[in-house]
Structure formats: structure tokens, C-alpha cells
Chains A and B, each alone.
Chain A
């Protein structure tokens, strides 16, 4: 495999920079679009965000000092573009990214918080490759997960996409969304539990699993 020639953002000709930039963006386009689609849930909004991201990145290319960081830099612009768009909509009362989730304690919320797909599926004393939980995962289609993820409240979905998909740290999410670290943690926790519950219910409807959601084991472990 040949090593990619690093770009010199401030030293190359405009034509060389354009070629490099276009190649990189083209290589990342499906992930840019997919990430924007998971964040927004709307194909038109996702296209707008990707287009704005690419425009901003091209106009700010001189600020990229280390070409090895191109990908992370581009996705950071994408996330900032998404958050800015949501804040504009929020200001127009179209959406409420930061406050549309009920975080008040309740019995139902506690039950959701503690839901674990693994605990619903796991049967001890079976070899791991033949276990119901692995069979369930094998049968899960990308479409199943997209449906469950897209059904989450915005704040939960965005936290999961940033951390689980893009590998953001809690601190980075906290700064990007301008929310406390504890809120990042609670959104991830609630979001994951809701996602797993939705997958369980979808699995039941599709006949992948039998039975009903029983009270979640709140011990948190298998011990």
C-alpha cells in the first residue's frame, strides 16, 4: 500500500490542494452523509449539513496544520455545523435539542434506565457462540438499528452518535453541546437503555425473540 502524500495546506498550489481536498472529501462522503443523517434523521437536512461542512472546510483549509488530522477536523466541522443549525431552529422554537427529554425521576424512567438487552436474552451455561444474545445480534439488520436509533429523542440520539459512532469524549460532548458532564452521562445512559429496549421490542415483533419485557434486573450485573 502506498502512503498517502500529505497535504501542505499553505504550501501547495491551489490546484493540488483542491485535488487533495476533493479526493479526501469523496473518500469520506458516505460517512459524512451517514453521520449527518443519523444526527438529523432527515435526508435533505443531512445533505445541507454536509454541503455547508465541505464549504466551510475548504474555506478554512489554511487552518489545518496537521494533514493527519484531516478526518477528525472535517467531522468536527460537521458536528459544529449540525449543532449550529439545531440552535438556529431552537431559537425559532422548531426543535429543542437540549430540553426535549424528560429527565425527572419516575418508576417508568427507572425501569427504562436499567433495561439491558443482554439480560433479556442471556441464558447462562451455554457456549458463547451459540447463545441467544449472539444469535439476536447476528439477525439484527442495519435497518433495525437505524429505526431504533432514529426513534430516540434528539438529545439521546445525538449523545450516542457523538460518543459511540464518532468516539467523542464526554468532555468534548459537554463542550460541543454546552451541557454539564453529568448530563452527558445521563443522556448516554438513558439513550442506550431506550435503544436496547426498542431493539428488544422490534426483535419480538419480528419473531427474533419470544416473551415479554420483564422487570429489568436492577442489580446491573450477572453476579
Chain B
């Protein structure tokens, strides 16, 4: 399936670079335009975004009280 100037294959090849915000504004806009028109690519992009969010959530972990005390003690002794 093709819509707009980019083919689905081209969009998939650049999908992660797009999600990483490493594309130029023009390339990024071309992918936005494709995703607005192509359900298959939109579904894939949404899936990768949601998975990425879940990966991001793993980097918030309740810090042990011991660490909070250690940091406070460290600042007290500076």
C-alpha cells in the first residue's frame, strides 16, 4: 500500500529514526502525513510508541529509604 509520497516500506524503514526524533522536519512531516492515511503503518507506529512508553516506565523505581538517607547524610557532610 502506498499513500502520499512515501511507501509503507520506506516508512517502516525509518519508523524508529522517526520515533527517536532523528529525522529532519521535512522527513518527519512526510511520515506524519503517511501515518494519517495508512491504517497499517499507523497501527505499527502506535504499537511501537506504546511499547516505548512501557520501556520508559521501567526507569522509575521507588528508591530505597537507605539511599535517601545516604544522600541526605552526604549533603550534610559537604
Given A117-B51, A164-B20, A164-B52: 16 more A-B contacts, CB < 8 Å: A29-B63, A30-B61, A37-B59, A47-B67, A118-B47, A118-B48, A122-B43, A122-B44, A133-B47, A140-B54, A149-B58, A161-B59, A165-B56, A165-B59, A221-B12, A221-B13
Q: Chain A nearest CB: distance from B47 CB in Å?
A: 5
Q: Taking CB as reference atom, which chain B residue is nearest A25?
A: B71
A interface residues, tally (CB under 8 Å): 55
Which residues from chain A contact B70 at a C-beta distance below 8 Å?
47, 51
Residue interface mask A131-165, B partner, CB < 8 A = 1: 10110010010100110010000000000110111
Interface size class of B (residues with CB under 8 A): 35 or more
Binding site for B on A (CB under 8 A): 18, 21-22, 25-26, 29-35, 37-38, 43, 47, 50-51, 54-55, 58-59, 117-118, 122, 124, 128, 131, 133-134, 137, 140, 142, 145-146, 149, 160-161, 163-167, 169-170, 188-189, 192, 195-196, 219-223
Q: Chain A nearest CB: distance from B52 CB in Å?
A: 5
Which residues from chain B contact A33 at a C-beta distance below 8 Å?
61-64, 67
Q: Chain B nearest CB: distance from A50 CB in Å?
A: 6
Chain A interface mostly helix, strand, loop or mixed? helix
